[in-house]
Chains A and B, each alone.
Chain A
Amino acid sequence: MSEIANTDPEGLDGVRMSWNVWPRTKVEASKCVIPLAASISPIRHHPDIPNLPYAPLRCKTCSAVLNPFSRVDFTAKIWICPFCYQRNHFPPHYHMISETNLPGELYAQYTTVQYSLPQNPDPNLGPSPLSPVFLFMLDTCMIEEEMGYVKSALMRAIGLLPENALVGFVSFGTQVQVHELGFSDMSKVYVFRGNKEISKEQVLDQLGLGVARRAGGTGYQKGVPIGFPNSGVTRFLLPAADCEYTLNALLDELETDQWPVPPGSRASRCTGVALSVSAGLLGACSTGTGARIIALVGGPCTEGPGTIISKDLSDPVRSHKDLDKDAAPYFKKAVKFYENLANQLVSQGHVLDLFASALDQVGVAEMKVAVEKTGGLVVQAESFGHPVFKDSFKRVFEEGEQSLGLCFNGTLEINCSKDIKIQGIIGPCTSLEKKGPAVADTTIGEGGTTAWKLCGLDKSTCLTVFFDLSSSDRSNTPGTVNPLLYLQFLTSYQNPEGQLILRVTTISRGWIDSAVSSEELAQGFDQETAAVVMARLTSLKMETEEGFDATRWLDRSLIRLCSKFGDYQKDDPASFTLNPSFSLFPQFMFNLRRSQFVQVFNNSPDETAYFRMLLNRENITNAAVMIQPSLISYSFNSLPAPALLDVASIAADRILLLDSYFSVVIFHGMQIAQWRNAGYHNQPGHQAFAHLLQAPYDDSQVIIRERFPVPRLVVCDQHGSQARFLLAKLNPSATYNNANEMAAGSDVIFTDDVSLQVFFEHLQRLAVQS
């Protein structure tokens, strides 16, 4: 992040908005085409954010937190809330306040501050923080080799866990096995059948954790880890330090699922029930305990609720086509099941992380809802032995620089100025259904609320908030109103150390009468953010709106945008120019149209779901890369330089490094590949070549190290089969249709897709149409 940090577009606040200047009216806003949206990174790390070790002051009417935009009357010891204009008295401990003695939250530059909330007021709990819970849920329906990989990954992960972290282990196949780690006499396992839906109460009851079985439930036992009034659960969840040996021994002996699989059948795998059981088990933890289910899944669920496919191998796993034609008999039922599971997890405040490693689909598309609503991590790889899984999995547990900073139990509240309505959020969160005047009539994503639950969140978690304006024009009278609008994001969460933190970000933007100054409005346009917002919105619409034609919708939006903000003479395409604020946007749209987010038929539903989940939770920069990959060219005669994302960038003597977020491709031109194959780089006289070869690797490692999930690294040569990873992303300026025009050493892409140039031509023509 270091290099990016320099040009940090998100700044202290971690907020990027599609429009940094807002039109005053709903009508004007709708004319802007691109929605009013903010992409926020609620707990993004920034060294300058002050940490305040006390509780915030809240407005007594709107409960907004005291912030630099509040007007303060130092003599009267009163502050006025910028959102509702309520006058609030400072409490006694603020009596020292004066113009020269401001508390941290009033410093103008500290638009974002962080409060460390006092610990749980319950004196019984004492000072020690809540230990996070990691419940590993391992699929055992896999070949020995995969099992070996996943076991070693698990063992390594367990070794990395903080000592106080509580660990549980569930394995599943035909049945679910809950391992009682706290049983010292021998390995002890609770077995649940895989084909029967099971409620949380049943799970608790059957594990001996039910209410009925809590002996003397009220008594608080000494020596029992805090936060578990139901001490029974400590049979299953042990501090990592205490159970590492047990777990390793257990993993050593753990076998693949022993139930026979008839030939021509898929293994019987009850992922759904396993998740129910795991969620149920965690339900025994007291509220407020941060817990995550880390599901390691090696294939599709074929048994019991949540089944996505029959056991018959001749029955292929559903494709996008099947979903479109409603020919996926299990899909809706499964989604419904995982939705319920998601709701349960959210109510418990727990997280589902999904690590899917299989060549075939495992049902990510169905489970997406549970992962996304709980703010879980998701990693998809083709094998547990693949670096994409191995390295990503390791990252989850690593401490320090590389730490993902996994936090729990987040709650996001948004306060906004009058007349601003919130439509909803796209991203890893769940609506808490908290109604208020700021709730818009229309809903996008998780809406209908001003508060959201983020069971799991991390440094890079990013949410897209969609705003709308009040349709009443009462506020529309200029001059009488504050020219600034305010938004306040309150994120409370439990950090990895178990501390409760509240981060308050208050931002202010200007209102503009767009009718007056379109120019100012354009200046406030953030193309990158807008592109990502459009991508997210498109994805959402594709998933939720029946028969939604994404390409058409994007095209029309783009044309409208260009019509509104372009400079042109009607019906003269040649006269069309675009304000620099918008200049990149059409290309983003071009690439978005061609991306996996819109052209889903090249991918499986699982892949699509995976891509979209990451699109929704990544920051703007990374999301933009997903839409429009970056391409860097390496050659002898120049420094590494960005190259056009065009097939024309391919040259025999170049190495290209493509970062499309999910994969990083190192592409050797034909000549380079030949030299390399000849081993020149190993010869003393060709150190320059060796360096040239090495440079893209080094750069790719930088990318890979920073990113979670770890991208797939593809190293390929021109004309090699793997080259498709690059070619698919390039603008097909050279196809077999115009192959004769291409430069030597370049390449062609076998496609009928239009090139960027053609796209632009059409755009210009349509934009200027009257």
Chain B
Amino acid sequence: MAAFLPPGAPRPRSGNDNPSQPPPPNYNPNLNPNSLADNLNNLNLNRPPSMPSSAPRASPFGQPPHFPSPASLPGVSVGSSPFSRPGPPPGALSRPAVPPTGPPQSTLSPNVPPPARSMGPPTGQPSFIGSRTPPGYFPSSGGTNVPPTYVAPPPGAFPSSGFPSRPVGSAPPPGTRPSTASPPLTTGPALPHSSAPSGYVTNGPPAFMSGASPGGPRFPPAGSAPPPPIGHPLTLGSAGAAPQAQSMRSFLASPAVVAPPGPPAQPASPFSAPPQGVPPPPGSYGPPTWPVQPGQVGPSQPLSGSVQPPRMFGMPPPPLPNQSMTAIPALSQTGAPVSGTSKIDPNQIPRPIPSSSSILYETRQGNQANPPPPATSDYIVRDTGNCSPRYMRSTISQIPCTADLLTTSGMQLALLIQPLALPHPSEEPIQVVDFADIGPVRCSRCKAYINPFMKFIDQGRRFICNICGYTDETPRDYHCNLGPDGRRRDADERPELCRGTVEFVATKEYMVRDPMPAVYFFLIDVSMNAIQTGATAAACSAISQVISDLPEGPRTMVGIATFDSTIHFYNLKRALQQPLMLIVPDVQDVYTPLQTDVVVQLSECRQHLELLLESIPNMFQNNRTAESAFGAAVQAAFLAIKSSGGKLLVFQSVLPSTGVGSLSAREAEGRTNISAGEKEAHKLLQPVDKTLKTMAIEFAEYQVCVDIFVTTQTYIDIASISVIPRTTGGQVYYYYPFSALSDPAKLYNDLRWNITRPQGFEAVMRVRCSQGIQVQDYHGNFCKRIPTDVDLPGIDCDKTIMVNLKHDDKLQDGSECSFQCALLYTTVYGQRRIRVTTLSLPCTSMLSNLFRSADLDTQFACFLKQAANKIPSSPLLQVREQVTNLCINVLLSYRKFCATVTSSGQLILPEALKLLPLYTLALLKSIGLRNDGRIDDRSIWIECVSYLSTPLAIPLVYPRMVAIHDLKQKDENECLVSPVIPLSSEHVTDDGIYLLENGVDCLIYIGNSVDSNILQLLFGISSAEEIPTQFVLQQFDNPLSRKVNDLVNEIRRQRCSYLRIKLCKKGDPSGALFFSHLVEDKNPSGPSYVEFLVYVHREIQMKMSS
């Protein structure tokens, strides 16, 4: 465990206890939405035509020959470029652009290069692609699961496939299409991973099987045959773009997954088409598709089910009974007869495909920034100049030269910074650089810290700041001659000159006072409800256990207080025979009851503390005070630690009802007064007034970081309460409804992780950008007093800050743009450090490059945070609309400017962002964006999102589901967490047990007809009837139970979260809860995935045509 700790905060960690343990540092490799994202997905939503298209696709498939061509990317690219230009006017432009981006790639670029970028994992992409071609990729891409197979193939495959497909659409066009398609394809390649192989396979039918059986088959069928036709018809119907469309589809097809499903399923698309008057195609389309699919499906499904995740390629059997099916008819009606036939194959639409093995990732290669692997994948970083993407990642790995370009793309430019993120255990620790009294070398103008991108000139006597461009004198002591390569000779020996992340030892100049001690103040609710629900006992027990995890040494100070309608401090001084309870009864105007002795050195009060924690639950056992003076208590505790600052850990169980900052049950008021409630429903998600905010700002000023553990049974107004942690760099832990049986373990583990995770105190963070870009604003849990800096009374490895960027000038194409984040903080051992994280990215003026280098995970995290930000201040409908539009606009931009040869009938997705619609849909169905949830649930969701790290952003809205009833059949060596099942009820059977987790909660769904043996083995119960409402996962002495425990522990490790485990059964509210997480299903909060795709497609079409 210790390994993962950052150097700054080396903490001993005991790794023994299983579940209890804080989550391990590693992230989950499993979900690589990214990998998928990397690939450009072309979703062809064709109406019925699509179906027919399938037939055409077949031809593409047939084209497999093309593959070869793709294989020889150059050729393709060439072809493509020409095509692109001629093809879609708008797209043409962009595309050409694309190729240029990657010089070497250029040739390839059109087709290949893009994929490369999209590939993300492959990092080198463009270049790679160009030069290396597929093979090259493999290694690079290797990061993903089966690097060789997937990655490499994908790129190649996609393009190839794409090309082929296009060709298919319009036979000759192939070449061109490839080009056009290529971009998408390029992206596509990423997708390929999973599908890629399949794609390839598809191309070469036999191959499929080899690759990913499910995917493979599907592709071929779907893609090959039906898509093309569909596309055509559609295109015809819609516009001349037909060929493109086809190509697109073909891509899709090639990705196999996407294309097929899209068209058929989406009646929607059909609709659009029909109106256009595409009627003719339908008939033909329909049939072909079906047959094809079925056939394919059959095999594919089993496969998918058994082993590989279906991923993007869903091979829905013809029977696709799902909503999509049903939907289709309806659609069809509007559209035409076609509809009936048309549909998107739900099994082939893009889905995240987890990778199971670690990727090795170098941050820079060949003196160029290497696009990062997906945040959710398992990767090992070698810092070769740029910082690890764990610490900082940009929504786009290339920086648009102008604001206009960025606007056109519809994407966001933002950084997600997690300054103390946990490194992978295999990564080299961050090096600490001590410049002694001089302090770190900095630019004298903009104060940027020395970093690998500062260019030394004039024999090393001067250096040019990469941030502001100013030329500084090199300090005499720091002088070093330059080598023949223009670098300082000592560049490789000095971490600050060759590493993207270093830590400087801060000198006195960086301190306004001595570094603060590690102060931990525990504040426990002992009001009647807290006592009676066992929350107090749980809190005391957790604290008691966690005492031993506090940093050793004289600098660790501890204080404790309890509160109900009054506040009770405890004098823990050693001289006293027993702790002395000091009550502050004035909760309107609080104060601290002692100047000293309320906060005592841990070493002096350990016994008293333990004694006290043991006795608190008993002492208040008969407490009849139902009121809670939370605000006052926090304020009083703050006063107690004001002189030093520190961490304030609050355990709160009821709505604060008295004293400063008391709150009212406005949720209930909202319910009773429906008219008012509905008009401004979102107001309930705002803090009720400024009292707590004002308090929080003062806390922050005195470096007090507040974490709140909410163990409640009722509404507690998280919206108001959470202002305090949010402003002070803390967070809210939410246990609702608190269960004295199952929650104490989580409470303990959360607390333990809270205290033991790498963290810093009294921190200040600033991000500097190269000229041309500036920071627009920061989002996260912090306090901001001046525009340029954020104050973080506490910062830890889980906290992420989003930094929105804006242009204030044009950037030069081909230059690099640097971002430097400096975090000045105090470690728990009282050292003052500056962690400097630098990222330098290339600038581009080509839109297609932007799409290729889009980082889906980061973009989505950014979407998520922005949406969460707006929820409290805007009507829900508006937010939902904005979220949807954000997605549509990106896709529209791509469709409009990058996807040259498309037919309007096809939904074309940039490979890197092909999962964007899925995630957007998931976001729309998330707790925060639904209005059927409890106010507090929504508030906590918003609160959680505000500091959520990139790797955890996606699981939060798009959880991971695995089947656990058949775990024991799995191979020992297989990745524990795969295979992942798509979040569709279609994949949930009555005789199965499924585990679904989003990084916070873990739902275990038990079907009605599960084998009782399995129930016995796993839960010690014999039938689903006996499922307890409160559940503690136990390990029984059998392989299955062991496996499940291992699985859960692995997930906990990956998520750095203990997870609240809940059992769900059908026909029960818990079952409904479970199904509400299946975002691909149609449900009251939104359409099914397929429907959504259709909707998106239609919107794009409308905007295209308008």
Q: Quick check: B566 and A208 within 8 Å, CB to CB?
A: yes
Verify if B583 is at the interface (C-beta below 8 Å from A). Answer: yes
Q: Quick check: B580 and A191 within 8 Å, CB to CB?
A: no
B583 / chain A contacts, CB cutoff of 8 Å: 180, 188-191
Among A207, A249, A258, find the residue whose CB has the most chain B CB atoms closer than 10 A: A258
A208 / chain B contacts, CB cutoff of 8 Å: 565-566, 585, 625
Verify if A126 is at the interface (C-beta below 8 Å from B). Answer: no
Given known pairs A185-B618, A185-B619, the reply for A207 and B578 (CB within 8 Å) is: no
Q: How many angstroms between the C-alpha atoms of A193 and B583 in the bound complex?
A: 11
Q: Which of A188-226 contact B (CB under 8 A)?
A: 188-193, 196, 198, 202, 205-208, 215
Verify if B16 is at the interface (C-beta below 8 Å from A). Answer: no
* Min distance, Cβ B279 to any Cβ of chain A, angstroms: 77
Of the stretches B147-155, B202-210, B587-595, B938-946, the one at the interface is: B587-595
Determine the residue in chain A with the shortest Cβ distance to B576. A253
Q: Quick check: A186 and B615 within 8 Å, CB to CB?
A: yes
A189 / chain B contacts, CB cutoff of 8 Å: 580-583, 593
Verify if A392 is at the interface (C-beta below 8 Å from B). Answer: no
Verify if B1034 is at the interface (C-beta below 8 Å from A). Answer: no
B690 / chain A contacts, CB cutoff of 8 Å: none
Determine the residue in chain A with the shortest Cβ distance to B569. A191
Q: How many angstroms between the C-alpha atoms of A208 and B569 in the bound complex?
A: 17
Q: Quick check: A193 and B577 within 8 Å, CB to CB?
A: no
Verify if B767 is at the interface (C-beta below 8 Å from A). Answer: no
Q: Quick check: B581 and A258 within 8 Å, CB to CB?
A: no
Given known pairs A185-B615, A215-B624, A258-B597, the reply for A192 and B585 (CB within 8 Å) is: yes
* Min distance, Cβ B944 to any Cβ of chain A, angstroms: 37
Verify if B809 is at the interface (C-beta below 8 Å from A). Answer: no
* Min distance, Cβ A191 to any Cβ of chain B, angstroms: 4
A177 / chain B contacts, CB cutoff of 8 Å: 582, 593
Q: Quick check: A190 and B585 within 8 Å, CB to CB?
A: yes
Q: How many angstroms between the C-alpha atoms of A622 and B579 in the bound complex?
A: 50
Verify if A518 is at the interface (C-beta below 8 Å from B). Answer: no
Q: Which of A478-516 contact B (CB under 8 A)?
A: none
Contacting B577 at CB < 8 Å: which of A205, A253, A258, A260? A253
Verify if B586 is at the interface (C-beta below 8 Å from A). Answer: yes
Q: Which of B554-605 contact A (CB under 8 A)?
A: 565-566, 568-569, 575-586, 589, 591, 593-597
Q: Quick check: A183 and B581 within 8 Å, CB to CB?
A: yes
Q: Quick check: A206 and B585 within 8 Å, CB to CB?
A: yes
A186 / chain B contacts, CB cutoff of 8 Å: 578-581, 612, 615, 619
Q: Quick check: A258 and B596 within 8 Å, CB to CB?
A: yes
Q: What's the dominant secondary structure at chain B's contact region?
A: loop
B618 / chain A contacts, CB cutoff of 8 Å: 185
A258 / chain B contacts, CB cutoff of 8 Å: 594-597
Q: How many angstroms between the C-alpha atoms of A554 and B565 in the bound complex?
A: 61
Q: How many angstroms between the C-alpha atoms of A186 and B613 in the bound complex?
A: 13
Q: How many angstroms between the C-alpha atoms of A202 and B587 in the bound complex?
A: 11
B-contact 0/1 string along A221-261, CB 8 Å cutoff: 00000000000000000000000000001000100001110
Determine the residue in chain A with the shortest Cβ distance to B565. A208
Q: Quick check: B566 and A206 within 8 Å, CB to CB?
A: yes
Verify if A30 is at the interface (C-beta below 8 Å from B). Answer: no
Q: How many angstroms between the C-alpha atoms of A532 and B1100 in the bound complex?
A: 108
Q: Quick check: A187 and B578 within 8 Å, CB to CB?
A: yes
Determine the residue in chain A with the shortest Cβ distance to B578. A186
A193 / chain B contacts, CB cutoff of 8 Å: 586, 589, 591
Determine the residue in chain A with the shortest Cβ distance to B595. A259
* Min distance, Cβ B373 to any Cβ of chain A, angstroms: 56
* Min distance, Cβ B908 to any Cβ of chain A, angstroms: 68
Among B576, B586, B619, find the residue whose CB has the most chain A CB atoms closer than 10 A: B586
B-contact 0/1 string along A718-754, CB 8 Å cutoff: 0000000000000000000000000000000000000
Q: How many angstroms between the C-alpha atoms of A558 and B285 in the bound complex?
A: 133
Q: Quick check: B589 and A188 within 8 Å, CB to CB?
A: no
Q: How many angstroms between the C-alpha atoms of A191 and B585 in the bound complex?
A: 7
Q: How many angstroms between the C-alpha atoms of A508 and B439 in the bound complex?
A: 99
Verify if A112 is at the interface (C-beta below 8 Å from B). Answer: no
Q: How many angstroms between the C-alpha atoms of A646 and B618 in the bound complex?
A: 73
Verify if A41 is at the interface (C-beta below 8 Å from B). Answer: no
Interface size class of A (residues with CB under 8 A): 20 to 34
Verify if A175 is at the interface (C-beta below 8 Å from B). Answer: yes
* Min distance, Cβ B606 to any Cβ of chain A, angstroms: 17
Q: How many angstroms between the C-alpha atoms of A280 and B1092 in the bound complex?
A: 68
* Min distance, Cβ B561 to any Cβ of chain A, angstroms: 12
A187 / chain B contacts, CB cutoff of 8 Å: 576, 578-581
Q: Quick check: A207 and B591 within 8 Å, CB to CB?
A: no
B582 / chain A contacts, CB cutoff of 8 Å: 177, 189, 191
Determine the residue in chain B with the shortest Cβ distance to A174. B595
Q: Quick check: B596 and A175 within 8 Å, CB to CB?
A: no
Q: How many angstroms between the C-alpha atoms of A189 and B576 in the bound complex?
A: 14
Q: Quick check: B566 and A188 within 8 Å, CB to CB?
A: no
Among A186, A196, A198, A249, find the residue whose CB has the most chain B CB atoms closer than 10 A: A186
Q: Which of A134-192 contact B (CB under 8 A)?
A: 174-175, 177, 180, 183, 185-192
B594 / chain A contacts, CB cutoff of 8 Å: 258-259
Q: Quick check: A206 and B579 within 8 Å, CB to CB?
A: no
B585 / chain A contacts, CB cutoff of 8 Å: 190-192, 205-208
Q: Which of A4-20 contact B (CB under 8 A)?
A: none
Q: How many angstroms between the C-alpha atoms of A215 and B583 in the bound complex?
A: 21
Q: How many angstroms between the C-alpha atoms of A191 and B565 in the bound complex?
A: 14
Given known pairs A190-B583, A193-B586, A196-B589, the reply for A260 and B595 (CB within 8 Å) is: yes
Q: How many angstroms between the C-alpha atoms of A177 and B595 in the bound complex?
A: 14
A190 / chain B contacts, CB cutoff of 8 Å: 566, 583-585
A191 / chain B contacts, CB cutoff of 8 Å: 569, 582-585, 591, 593
A196 / chain B contacts, CB cutoff of 8 Å: 586, 589
Given known pairs A185-B615, A185-B618, A186-B619, the reply for A192 and B581 (CB within 8 Å) is: no
* Min distance, Cβ A460 to any Cβ of chain B, angstroms: 39
Q: Quick check: A249 and B577 within 8 Å, CB to CB?
A: yes
Determine the residue in chain A with the shortest Cβ distance to B621. A185
Q: Which of B614-640 contact A (CB under 8 A)?
A: 615, 618-619, 624-625
Q: Quick check: A202 and B586 within 8 Å, CB to CB?
A: yes
Q: How many angstroms between the C-alpha atoms of A539 and B426 in the bound complex?
A: 91
Determine the residue in chain A with the shortest Cβ distance to B615. A185
B-contact 0/1 string along A253-293, CB 8 Å cutoff: 10000111000000000000000000000000000000000
Contacting B593 at CB < 8 Å: which of A175, A207, A249? A175
Determine the residue in chain A with the shortest Cβ distance to B612. A186
* Min distance, Cβ B259 to any Cβ of chain A, angstroms: 71
Q: How many angstroms between the C-alpha atoms of A198 and B589 in the bound complex?
A: 11
Q: How many angstroms between the C-alpha atoms of A259 and B586 in the bound complex?
A: 19
Q: How many angstroms between the C-alpha atoms of A189 and B612 in the bound complex?
A: 15
* Min distance, Cβ A254 to any Cβ of chain B, angstroms: 10
B612 / chain A contacts, CB cutoff of 8 Å: 186
Given known pairs A193-B591, A259-B595, the reply for A188 and B577 (CB within 8 Å) is: no
* Min distance, Cβ A259 to any Cβ of chain B, angstroms: 5
Q: Which of A117-144 contact B (CB under 8 A)?
A: none
A-contact 0/1 string along B988-1019, CB 8 Å cutoff: 00000000000000000000000000000000
**25 sampled A-B residue pairs with Cβ under 8 A:** A174-B595, A177-B582, A183-B581, A185-B618, A186-B578, A186-B615, A188-B568, A188-B580, A189-B583, A189-B593, A190-B566, A190-B584, A191-B569, A191-B582, A192-B585, A193-B586, A193-B591, A196-B589, A206-B586, A207-B585, A208-B585, A253-B575, A258-B595, A258-B596, A259-B594
Binding site for B on A (CB under 8 A): 174-175, 177, 180, 183, 185-193, 196, 198, 202, 205-208, 215, 249, 253, 258-260
Binding site for A on B (CB under 8 A): 565-566, 568-569, 575-586, 589, 591, 593-597, 612, 615, 618-619, 624-625
Task: Known pairs A174-B595, A208-B625; list 18 more (Cβ under 8 Å).
Answer: A175-B593, A185-B615, A185-B618, A187-B576, A189-B582, A191-B591, A193-B586, A193-B591, A198-B586, A206-B585, A208-B585, A249-B577, A253-B575, A253-B580, A258-B594, A258-B595, A259-B594, A260-B595
Q: In the A-B complex, list the 6 residue pairs whose CB atoms are closest, starting with the nearest.
A: A206-B585, A191-B593, A188-B581, A190-B583, A193-B591, A187-B580
